[in-house]
């Protein structure tokens, strides 16, 4: 089992806490540090990643995740290539349909077909291939000032392709990830429980086989909030914002998990504020019962966390990526250390 972390770089603080958390993760032997991308509520993902690249030496660095709606995919490909050069080949590109980043900008998540097309485009650019220009806000055509309908990313062939991972919250998106990508980020509720993880792994495996790829080469990454505390209630309090986010995105979640809380679903979906997305002070966190938080996250005593990690491993997960936040740097640092010392050796 590999271990990584995803840092939420809240705009209420500067970049320094993000860098310190990345260093702590490296010191604790986490393999990868991912940083979230949500431009209206968090510090810029690429600036944070560049700062972390300059301050670390071994840990892989990547987006966890960016989208293809708020930046042209060619811009994202170039940013990933530049990070790869800056970090000495440690970059990873995580992509997704968009969540708070698009919603707080007045946009909608991209369709699966559009995400597929843009992922293929980015991968081709990162390989150094010349490809058809990607339509963006209109038809691609040659004019006096824009003559190119075939495009390439200059310098990409020097650095080589880097791993591309796709965030999934359904079997359909997992199948696409298996067909195209190096990693399958099992997001939200799907990564928080064995049933969802198993279904995602199966769908991605089928996608890989349909494309003639070896599913054994895929990373299956459970992106999951985690909190370790000798007091289980305190641990659950830390992950309630993530559980609320999962329900707001997938109102049918409690039924899938066998949780009879229709009233919770209605109240969370009605009150969820994306400007308080994954915020430890968000009011909607107060609506989440313990049972829902336990199903969506790794939270509780060290043994609780070990048991959940083992369940995910048995379901086919081979990387667990725990959430940490610059909003509570000391709490996040403590969580990283305890997870490394008390959970990782036993999963």
Tell me what pLDDT residue 158 has: 86
Centre a 10 Å sphere on the Cβ of residue 154 and count the other Cβ atoms it contains: 9
Spatial neighbors of 345 by CB under 8 A, at least 6 apart, are: none
The per-residue pLDDT string of the chain (347 residues; one tens digit each, 9 = 90 and over) reads 999 999 989 887 799 999 999 999 999 999 999 999 988 888 999 999 999 999 999 999 999 999 999 999 999 999 999 999 999 999 999 999 987 788 878 888 999 999 999 999 999 999 999 999 987 765 555 555 556 789 999 999 888 789 999 999 889 999 999 999 999 999 866 667 888 899 999 999 999 999 999 999 999 999 998 899 999 988 888 888 777 777 766 655 555 555 556 667 777 766 666 766 666 666 666 667 777 777 888 999 999 999 999 999 999 999 999 988 767 899 899 999 999 999 999 99
Tell me what pLDDT residue 244 has: 73
In the chain, the N- to C-terminal Cα span, in Å, equals: 7
Q: Residue 2 has which token pair?
A: 């590999």
Spatial neighbors of 131 by CB under 8 A, at least 6 apart, are: 121, 124, 125, 150, 151, 152
Tell me what pLDDT residue 86 has: 97
Tell me what pLDDT residue 64 has: 95
CA distance 302 to 286: 24
Q: Is 132 exposed, middle or buried (0-12, 13-18, 19+ CB in 10 A)?
A: exposed
Give the domains, in start order, of the chain with CATH numbers.
2-135+146-228+302-346 (3.20.20.30)
3-state secondary structure of 203: helix
Q: Please name the residue that has the structure tokens 């936040």.
A: 325
Tell me what pLDDT residue 193 has: 83
Tell me what pLDDT residue 256 has: 58
| Global pTM value | 0.90
Spatial neighbors of 200 by CB under 8 A, at least 6 apart, are: 168, 171, 174, 184, 186, 190, 191, 220
Tell me what pLDDT residue 281 has: 67
Closest CA to 38 of 17, 61, 7: 7
């Amino acid at each position: 089992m590999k271990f990584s972390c995803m840092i939420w770089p809240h705009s209420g603080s500067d970049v320094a806490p993000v860098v310190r958390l990345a260093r702590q993760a490296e010191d604790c032997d986490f393999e990868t540090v991912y940083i979230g991308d949500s431009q209206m509520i968090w510090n810029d993902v690429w600036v944070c990643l560049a700062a972390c690249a300059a301050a670390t030496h071994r840990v892989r660095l990547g987006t966890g995740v960016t989208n293809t709606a708020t930046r042209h995919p060619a811009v994202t490909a170039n940013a990933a290539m530049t990070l790869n050069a800056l970090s000495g080949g440690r970059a990873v590109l995580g992509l997704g349909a968009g969540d708070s980043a698009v919603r707080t900008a007045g946009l909608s998540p991209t369709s699966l077909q559009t995400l597929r097309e843009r992922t293929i485009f980015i991968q081709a650019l990162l390989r150094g291939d010349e490809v058809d220009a990607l339509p963006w806000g209109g038809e691609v055509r040659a004019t006096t000032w824009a003559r190119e309908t075939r495009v390439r990313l200059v310098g990409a062939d020097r650095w080589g392709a880097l791993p591309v991972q796709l965030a999934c919250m359904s079997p359909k998106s997992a199948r696409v990830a298996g067909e195209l990508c190096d990693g399958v980020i099992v997001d939200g509720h799907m990564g928080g429980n064995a049933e969802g993880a198993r279904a995602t792994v199966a769908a991605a495996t089928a996608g890989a086989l349909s494309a003639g790829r070896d599913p054994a080469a895929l990373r299956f990454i459970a992106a999951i909030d985690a909190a370790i505390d000798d007091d289980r209630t305190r641990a659950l309090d830390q992950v309630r914002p993530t559980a609320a986010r999962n329900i707001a995105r997938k109102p049918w979640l409690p039924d899938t998990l066998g949780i009879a809380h229709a009233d919770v679903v209605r109240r969370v979906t009605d009150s969820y504020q994306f400007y308080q997305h994954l915020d430890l002070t968000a009011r909607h966190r107060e609506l989440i019962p313990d049972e829902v938080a336990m199903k969506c996250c790794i939270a509780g005593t060290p043994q609780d966390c070990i048991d959940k990690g083992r369940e995910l491993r048995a379901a086919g997960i081979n990387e667990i990526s725990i959430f940490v936040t610059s909003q509570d740097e000391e709490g996040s640092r403590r969580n990283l250390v305890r997870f490394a010392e008390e959970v990782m050796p036993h999963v």
